[in-house]
A and B are shown apart, each in its own frame.
Chain A
Amino acid sequence: MPNVLTVRGLKKSYGSQMALAGIDFEVQAGEVFALIGPNGAGKTTTLRIVATLLTSSAGEITFLDRDLCKDPDFVREKISYLPEEAGAYKDMKGLDYLHFMANFYARTPEEEKEFVDRAVAITELGDRLRTKVGTYSKGMTRKLLLARALMTKPVLAILDEPTSGLDVLNALEVREIVRRYVKEGTSVLLSSHNMLEIEFLSDRVALIDKGRILDSGTPQELKDKHNAKNLEEVFRSSVR
């Protein structure tokens, strides 16, 4: 499968503090690629750089055969990013929020309607979408934001801790939605520190710690390689 995203020797430092010490990975078309690691490992920094929010200190990132750093406007047309602690405009109604966001991507009113209809289906919030976002529970807001991220069927969806702070049922639902959209052609780059969740959700994973990728492969490959029962044990083995 062709690569949607290729990252080579990516480095990032904040002053004297090194956040990424040169990482390499690629995301193939139609796969879920996950970065897993503890807090502060460099997952969010990587995702923010790919989402064009931060600039890299060194390295190369190619997105659909274009240099991501040189052509951020092109990248923003094709990706969507769901930050870990994202929020929506609290005074907007859910439906208005979806229309507002769809308007940035849609070329015609028909396309905007198509995006919004898709998002409405993802959220399953029904009439609650006609109420203000400020009245939503955390789970409802997260589903709204996930719907916003997937409604345009982006080439690459970048999801930072997509199930962060959600209860078991909501988290399960979010994971199912992500899997469904991958089948429809969207590639996903996600991060999580919940390694068991990643095992269920991802096609391939990269273990990241202290700004370096320790190992990468399919969950099964990694478990076999490290003779581990699950990814948590793989991670422990890699760190040692």
Chain B
Amino acid sequence: MKRFTNLLKKEIKELVTKQLIISLAFTVILFNFIGQVSKKEVRKAIGVQTISALDEDGSAASKALVQGLASARFKILDQSGKTKEQAIETAKAGESKLLLVIPKGFGDSLTELKPSEIETYSFMRSFSLIGTRGQIVVQSVISALNEALSNNFLKEKLPGIDPASLKKPIKSKDFVVVQDRMAEGSANMVAGLISQQSLLIPVVLMMIVIYSSQMVISAVAMEKQNKTLETLLTVPIKRTSIITAKMLAAGLVGLISAGVYMVGFKGFFGGIGDEAGLAGVQASGTAMMRQLGLYFNTSGYVILGLSIFLAILVALALAMILGVLAEDFRSAQTMIMPLMFMVMIPYFISLFADINTVSLPIKIFILAIPFSHPFLVSQNLYLGNYGMIAAGLAYMLIVFVILVVFAARIFSTDKILTMKLRFGKKKAAVA
């Protein structure tokens, strides 16, 4: 145990370099900074919008229109008494995102049921996605105007009838049924919320797998490049302990690195999401998901955690073998590619297709990739497919055991020194 701890400490020290710490700290600080900046911008963009209004008509209809806007979360800066040019200049110099000009004859046209025209001038002060939200304001204003005017018209012409019933005579009340549970809501909303809930799994998995695998591959390749491997293999420590120490160190450091990056991402996305006014929608969505049983309880989280943990073990064992094949640190960078593809294939397929409904050959291909199973766990948990979950966990465990036995065999035989992959040449060559 003392020897194993000695080696483990060395492996961890080798991985936790100043560069890694600086890079992690920089990422967290950077993402938090971007998150804070975005938060401020989003807050501005979704707050009360300021628009200027020049009412050249002065009719009851035009006044009602401006008042209607004021009650629809718009701060109105009245430009009455100015010419159009003056109003444009004033609005441009101020904070208005939009100038609304109601020309003379607006009220009369409405009375005569003729199409009425208003002019809008939107002031673009930035071209960022959030900055150009002024464009959306224009649409909101016009939509609010049309709504108010058509409602007023219908109320005038058909008193006693709710304008909304006239405009939308058919209303749908949506229900979603999942197995034996039912809740009010739309299927789109459920699918959206599930994909939102499951979004974190592939991101976490990809990050941990890539970081840890990269570290294991590099750890073995660096031993080869620095000519320290032969010495290490002749010291009195079991070969399986060498493999375990390298895998454990990479797993731990990879896990911590991925965790730190996730904190950074949370800071970034939190900055945008928190302010987007989605809290209400989220709360009602969560209630609906609970009603449908589409949420994780403790055992669900344990199963998901176990699945991710097994996927990481598989990745580490595979990385260990790939590390043996690498000749030096540079070729180790290339060795990570097959692993990345193996994680990305199920990720992208799960984004665009339902793995349960694809054709059989594709389904077999996807299920044969051990990293597909953590992607399927949440869906199978929701649908109660416990057999599929158990099979997935068992499959990953079997693959891990096979890979570890294979890695241990490589480390216990000549292959650790003689096996290497040369691209474009013979696959395994004797040194």
What residues of chain A have their CB less than 8 Å away from a CB belonging to chain B?
14-15, 17, 48, 51-55, 73, 76-77, 79-83, 85-92, 100-101, 103-105, 145, 148
- Judge whether B3 is part of the interface by a CB distance below 8 angstroms: yes
By beta carbon, the residue of chain A nearest B431 is A14
Please name all residues of chain A whose beta carbon is closer than 8 Å to the beta carbon of B414 when the two chains form the complex: 53-55
By beta carbon, the residue of chain B nearest A99 is B6
User: Nearest-CB distance from A106 to chain B (Å)?
Assistant: 9
Q: How large is the interface on B (under 10, 10 to 19, 20 to 34, 35 or more residues)?
A: 20 to 34
Q: Is the CB of B236 within 8 A of A77?
A: yes
Cα distance A86–B227 in the bound complex, in angstroms? 5
* Given A73-B236, A105-B236, residue A89 in contact with residue B10 (CB < 8 A): yes
Q: Is the CB of A81 within 8 A of B10?
A: no
Q: Is the CB of B236 within 8 A of A104?
A: yes
B221-244 CB contact bits vs A (8 Å, 1 = yes)?
000001110110111111000000
17 chain-A/chain-B pairs, Cβ below 8 angstroms: A51-B230, A52-B233, A53-B230, A53-B234, A73-B238, A82-B231, A86-B227, A86-B228, A89-B14, A89-B228, A91-B14, A91-B17, A100-B6, A101-B235, A104-B3, A145-B231, A148-B231
- Give 10 A-B pairs besides A79-B234, A87-B227, A101-B235 with Cβ atoms closer than 8 angstroms: A48-B417, A53-B234, A85-B227, A86-B227, A88-B226, A90-B226, A92-B10, A104-B3, A105-B235, A148-B231
Please name all residues of chain B whose beta carbon is closer than 8 Å to the beta carbon of A104 when the two chains form the complex: 3, 6, 235-237
* Given A55-B413, A89-B226, A91-B14, residue A103 in contact with residue B6 (CB < 8 A): yes
Q: Is the CB of A76 within 8 A of B228?
A: no
Please list the 5 inter-chain residue pairs (A to B) with the smallest Cβ-Cβ separation, ordered nearest first.
A87-B227, A14-B430, A81-B234, A76-B236, A103-B6
Please name all residues of chain B whose beta carbon is closer than 8 Å to the beta carbon of A148 when the two chains form the complex: 231
Cβ 8 A contact of B417, one of A17, A54, A80: A54
User: Nearest-CB distance from B238 to chain A (Å)?
Assistant: 7
Cα distance A17–B226 in the bound complex, in angstroms? 28
User: Nearest-CB distance from A59 to chain B (Å)?
Assistant: 15
Please name all residues of chain B whose beta carbon is closer than 8 Å to the beta carbon of A79 when the two chains form the complex: 234
User: Nearest-CB distance from A74 to chain B (Å)?
Assistant: 9
Please name all residues of chain B whose beta carbon is closer than 8 Å to the beta carbon of A89 when the two chains form the complex: 10, 14, 226, 228
B408-431 CB contact bits vs A (8 Å, 1 = yes)?
000001100110000000000010
Cα distance A79–B193 in the bound complex, in angstroms? 63
By beta carbon, the residue of chain A nearest B225 is A87
User: Nearest-CB distance from B16 to chain A (Å)?
Assistant: 11
- Judge whether B173 is part of the interface by a CB distance below 8 angstroms: no
Q: Is the CB of B234 within 8 A of A76?
A: yes
- Judge whether B2 is part of the interface by a CB distance below 8 angstroms: yes
Please name all residues of chain B whose beta carbon is closer than 8 Å to the beta carbon of A86 when the two chains form the complex: 227-228, 230-231
By beta carbon, the residue of chain B nearest A104 is B235
B161-205 CB contact bits vs A (8 Å, 1 = yes)?
000000000000000000000000000000000000000000000
Cβ 8 A contact of B233, one of A53, A85, A88, A145: A53
User: Nearest-CB distance from B408 to chain A (Å)?
Assistant: 14
Please name all residues of chain A whose beta carbon is closer than 8 Å to the beta carbon of B237 when the two chains form the complex: 76, 104
Cα distance A55–B413 in the bound complex, in angstroms? 7
User: Nearest-CB distance from B1 to chain A (Å)?
Assistant: 12
User: Nearest-CB distance from A43 to chain B (Å)?
Assistant: 15
User: Nearest-CB distance from B56 to chain A (Å)?
Assistant: 76
Cα distance A62–B378 in the bound complex, in angstroms? 58
Cα distance A101–B235 in the bound complex, in angstroms? 8
Contact residues of B between 1 and 16, Cβ < 8 Å to A: 2-3, 6, 10, 14
Please name all residues of chain B whose beta carbon is closer than 8 Å to the beta carbon of A14 when the two chains form the complex: 418, 430
Cα distance A15–B414 in the bound complex, in angstroms? 12
Contact residues of B between 295 and 324, Cβ < 8 Å to A: none
* Given A15-B430, A81-B234, A104-B237, residue A53 in contact with residue B417 (CB < 8 A): yes
Please name all residues of chain B whose beta carbon is closer than 8 Å to the beta carbon of A80 when the two chains form the complex: 234
Cα distance A174–B6 in the bound complex, in angstroms? 29
User: Nearest-CB distance from A226 to chain B (Å)?
Assistant: 34
Q: Is the CB of A103 within 8 A of B230?
A: no
Cα distance A91–B228 in the bound complex, in angstroms? 12
Cα distance A106–B88 in the bound complex, in angstroms? 86
User: Nearest-CB distance from A86 to chain B (Å)?
Assistant: 5
Cα distance A148–B414 in the bound complex, in angstroms? 24
Question: Of A17, A51, A104, which is in contact with the most chain B CB atoms at under 10 Å from its CB?
Answer: A104
By beta carbon, the residue of chain B nearest A87 is B227
Please name all residues of chain B whose beta carbon is closer than 8 Å to the beta carbon of A85 when the two chains form the complex: 227
Please name all residues of chain B whose beta carbon is closer than 8 Å to the beta carbon of A77 when the two chains form the complex: 236
Cα distance A101–B3 in the bound complex, in angstroms? 10
Cα distance A129–B3 in the bound complex, in angstroms? 23
User: Nearest-CB distance from B235 to chain A (Å)?
Assistant: 4
Please name all residues of chain B whose beta carbon is closer than 8 Å to the beta carbon of A55 when the two chains form the complex: 413-414
Please name all residues of chain B whose beta carbon is closer than 8 Å to the beta carbon of A83 when the two chains form the complex: 227, 230-231
Please name all residues of chain A whose beta carbon is closer than 8 Å to the beta carbon of B235 when the two chains form the complex: 76, 101, 104-105
Cα distance A148–B413 in the bound complex, in angstroms? 25
Cα distance A103–B17 in the bound complex, in angstroms? 22
Cα distance A236–B231 in the bound complex, in angstroms? 34
By beta carbon, the residue of chain B nearest A76 is B236
User: Nearest-CB distance from A145 to chain B (Å)?
Assistant: 8
User: Nearest-CB distance from A110 to chain B (Å)?
Assistant: 14
Please name all residues of chain B whose beta carbon is closer than 8 Å to the beta carbon of A105 when the two chains form the complex: 235-236
Q: Is the CB of B430 within 8 A of A17?
A: yes
Cβ 8 A contact of A103, one of B3, B227, B418: B3
User: Nearest-CB distance from B97 to chain A (Å)?
Assistant: 56
By beta carbon, the residue of chain B nearest A79 is B234
Q: Is the CB of A81 within 8 A of B236?
A: no
By beta carbon, the residue of chain A nearest B237 is A104
Cα distance A237–B430 in the bound complex, in angstroms? 32
Please name all residues of chain A whose beta carbon is closer than 8 Å to the beta carbon of B231 when the two chains form the complex: 81-83, 86, 101, 145, 148
